[in-house]
Amino acid sequence: MNPRIHGKNVVITGASSGIGEQMAIKAAESGANLVLLARRVEKLEELKSFLESRYSNKVWIHSLDVSERENVEAVFSAIFAEAGKIDVLVNNAGFGIFEEAHLAKWGDIERMFAVNVLGLISCTQMVIEHMQKNRSGHIVNIASQAGKIATPKSSIYAATKHAVLGFSNSLRMELSTYGVFVTTVNPGPIATNFFEIADRSGTYVQNIQRFMLKPEKVAEKVVAAMLTNTREINLPRWMNAGSVFYTLFPRLVEKVGKNAFFKK
């Protein structure tokens, strides 16, 4: 539970499944009003019905493709019209495809950057001036441990998440004088349908299944940090320790960890 978000308006992109869905549930438990965004509106309708049957919060839903700028502008205009204010924006929409760089399809590359980077920036731009004016707010960007330590077959996905971290780190400094918080969430592999697209062979999931995070646990950590000045949420801790070690000793990690990295 997070009493700080009781009665606040929380916007979540990619809310139809996985940690987006779980964050919606956890935020509702804390008394937040929710604006749920995703491309699959039928999934959002199911989630809205579930939440309204259990909680008294307001729940709005909109179909949104974050990679379409005009769609983003129209949806956020509608959000401000109906909700009046956005207290927390969670940029959760994103996907990955694991493939060696020379085999990656150009359409997949463009789509990953359009959703994971440009879409995230686009949604963020919609709330910056609003939060600056209110001198409060929280932008939560779901990144990845892949944004800290890249591995083979994730070159494009890792590049998008490195971009998210760079954008977030700069934005955090820009907004610090306005009382607006910026948090990056850097999870390792999570047991969601993300890997139905990312790992089409199923090999990677088989190799790391016992280490995969539960989406509800990740969501719990994120919701607990809402409207607090939290710089990063790194899960699991041992994996983040590895990324710190990698920053200090990149050659050693790449040499010693080579076999493990190629398990995708």
pLDDT in tens, 61-100: 999 999 999 999 999 999 999 999 999 999 999 999 989 9
**Class of residue 155 by CB neighbours under 10 A (exposed 0-12, middle 13-18, buried 19+):** middle
Sign of CA dihedral 181, 146, 194, 209: negative
Q: Which of 176, 199, 177, 180 minimizes the C-alpha distance to 189? A: 199
204 catalytic? Reply is no
Class of domain 3-261: alpha beta
* Contact criterion met (CB below 8 Å) for 91 and 182: no
Contact between residue 88 and residue 140 where contact means Cβ atoms under 8 Å apart: yes
Reply yes or no on whether the pLDDT at 201 is more than 80.
no
User: What pLDDT is recorded for position 188?
Assistant: 86
Confidence of residue 129 (pLDDT cuts 50, 70, 90): very high
Assess contact for 51 and 59: CB atoms under 8 A: yes
Instruction: State pTM to two decimals.
Output: 0.88
**pLDDT, position 23:** 98
Of the listed 157, 178, 204, 246, which one is catalytic? 157
Provide the CB-side half-sphere exposure for 44 (13 A, CA): 19
Whether 175 contacts 132, CB under 8 Å: yes
User: To which residue do tokens 């949420």 refer?
Assistant: 233
Amino acid identity of residue 40, one-letter, is R
Secondary structure letter of residue 214 according to DSSP: P
What per-residue confidence (pLDDT) applies to 205? 45
Whether 142 contacts 98, CB under 8 Å: no
pLDDT of 30 higher than 50: yes
Q: Where are the beta strands (DSSP E) in the chain?
A: 9-13, 33-38, 59-63, 88-91, 137-142, 180-187, 232-235
Residues 152, 263: contact at Cβ < 8 Å? no
Task: State the average pLDDT for the chain.
Answer: 89
Please give the structure tokens belonging to residue 67: 């990679």
The partner residues of 190 in beta bridges, in order of sequence, read 213
Give the pLDDT band (50/70/90) at residue 195: very low
At residue 53's C-alpha, the angle toward residues 49 and 57, to 5°, is 90
Amino acid at 254: E
CB 137 within 8 A of CB 180: yes
The better pLDDT of the pair 259, 147 is held by 147
Cα of first residue to Cα of last residue in the chain, in angstroms, is: 36
Mean pLDDT, range 45-58, rounded to an integer: 96
